[in-house]
Amino acid sequence: MSKIATAEEAVSRINDDSIIAVNSSSGLCCPDAVLAALGERFDREGAPRNLTSIHPIAAGDMFGTPGVDHIAKPGMLTKIIGGSYPSGPTTAEPPKIWQMITAEQIKAYNVPSGIIFDILREGAAKRPGVLTKVGLKTFVDPDLEACAMNDAAKKEPIVSHRDFDGEDWLFFPAICPDVAIIRATTADERGNLSFEHEGAYLGAMEMALAARNAGGLVIAQVKRVAQNGSIRPHDVRVPGILVDFVVEAPEQLQTTATQYDPAISGELIRPLQTFRNAEFNVGKVIARRVAQELRDGWAVNIGFGISANVPRILVEEDLHGSVTWMIEQGAVGGVPLLGFKFGCSANAEAFVASPHQFTYFQSGGFDASLLSFLEVGKDGSVNVSRLRGVPHRTAGAGGFVDITARARKIVFSGNFNAGAKMEIQDGRLIIHKEGKVAKFVDEVDQVSFSGARAKDQGQDVTYVTERCVIQLLDGELVVTEIAPGLDLQRDVLDQAATEL
């Protein structure tokens, strides 16, 4: 029997009080047409009500793929558990979901992406929940914020401490979704799904399995429908036995603001000379210094911000391939992309399902991680997940907590303070005007990475800025290098709001 349906027909089966798992990373793999139909149904019928949405990585963006904003309606969505959330410019109107969060119209939680995948996996297997040390001494920890993003969420904690075999662990109860909404490229009439135009699988299989094992509903949005038997078995990433409805959406974007780029899906290998070199500026100087921390043959995770430019530095300096890049969405190797295409890689060597990638990250199986910072505390702790004045400017923690929990080497990068006017002249850094906001402070606004835990675990932690390089040594921030042309006291120590 054919499983092809309209989006309206598929979402008509979603009941009040449902838990809905959404497979997406901003615009990448976002089942936007199905989410739009679900929101439109609520506008017409006032149903379904009292939904809980769970998405390990942001569902939608601020640049043309509304995603979760389609269902961010009072009365419709009452609880959301997200690894990250749609984010964008400070001057832009906040997404509807952020407006609901800040207005206390919804219980909202920021749970590390890998842990959310773990929660769904445990639900699929009918196990009680997740015991993990990921998140200890960070905002995830009940001793700090317990993942709560607002006062409404604080009243209903979702994580607790547990003693197991004499050690302290965090415990997250398993979640069994009633509905999984996923996306692929092609479906046959029996619901078998392939991902040949996608830049990742994310957790499509795992979400479908969790919903199916809970007796729930699985809706798959696809670009096109094929005849039964026309998809090769090795290309099927989600079998039709797990899928209830297939919704065809021919105009779905491949990723944020991108209709289709065959290099993202590994169908075309781009010549290296087609990757634009970074403009020479202060940010590029930071990225080049970060690159010097790498060693040949390493597997290296990379995050958003200045560090995202490091792969282009290696391409420019004829060192591409000396390290293998790993990103949480699942691409292995290739050249991680920038801007709207962040989270995708061109010329990837492999695509790994995100839950497997996070298992690799959580256990510290890789060699190094290159990440950014908003603030650094005197004990080396880092805030990357909250800007209190403009919350939608940051996406939340995403996979940051999973990645840094046991990483052997971490290189954080960013400007030393916010708002400074600077340039490079004749190999020297010239500061024309000092920034007004210190980024090295006594205490960070939110602990995304725990310096205290890093000390306990003996992690190698370095902070690279345009002015200096700082290392975390015995729990203290120590300046180990200074940029040419600067005075240590005037330009570095006096500009920090904590002791270095």
Q: What is the pLDDT of residues 331-388, one digit of tens each?
A: 999 999 998 888 999 999 999 999 999 999 999 999 999 999 999 999 999 999 998 8
**pLDDT mean values, one per 10 residues, the chain (500 residues):** 93 98 97 98 98 96 94 98 91 93 97 98 97 98 98 97 97 98 97 98 98 98 96 97 98 95 96 92 95 98 93 96 97 93 94 97 97 97 91 90 98 96 92 94 97 97 98 98 95 96
Tokens of 54: 């769970």
Q: What is the pLDDT of residues 373-424, one digit of tens each?
A: 999 999 999 999 998 888 888 889 999 999 999 999 999 999 999 999 999 9
**Residue 328 designated active-site:** yes
Tokens of 405: 């929990």
How many Cα atoms occupy the beta-carbon half-sphere of 310 within 13 Å? 33
pLDDT of residue 278: 86
CB 19 within 8 A of CB 71: no
CA–CA distance, 25 with 369 (Å, rounded to integer): 20
CA–CA distance, 482 with 125 (Å, rounded to integer): 53
Q: What is the pLDDT of residues 76-117, one digit of tens each?
A: 999 999 999 998 888 889 999 999 999 999 999 999 999 999
Closest CA to 141 of 164, 114, 162: 162
Q: What is the pLDDT of residues 313-322, one digit of tens each?
A: 999 999 999 9
Say which residues have a Cβ less than 8 Å from residue 214's Cβ, sequence separation at least 6.
123, 124, 176, 177, 178
Count, residues in the chain? 500
Q: Which of 145, 293, 328, 466 is the catalytic position?
A: 328
If you average pLDDT over every residue of the chain, what do you get?
Answer: 96
Closest CA to 483 of 420, 434, 429: 429
- Count Cβ atoms below 10 Å from residue 247 Cβ, excluding itself: 26
CB 199 within 8 A of CB 254: yes
CB 22 within 8 A of CB 46: no
Question: CA distances (Å), 489 to each of 413, 460, 465, 468, 500, in order?
Answer: 21, 26, 16, 12, 10
Beta strands in 379-436 (DSSP E): 382-383, 409-413, 417-418, 421-425, 428-433
Please identify which residue in the block is written with the tokens 């026309």: 230
Question: CA distances (Å), 12 to each of 38, 148, 325, 336, in order?
Answer: 8, 31, 42, 39
CB 72 within 8 A of CB 386: no
Q: What is the pTM of this model?
A: 0.97
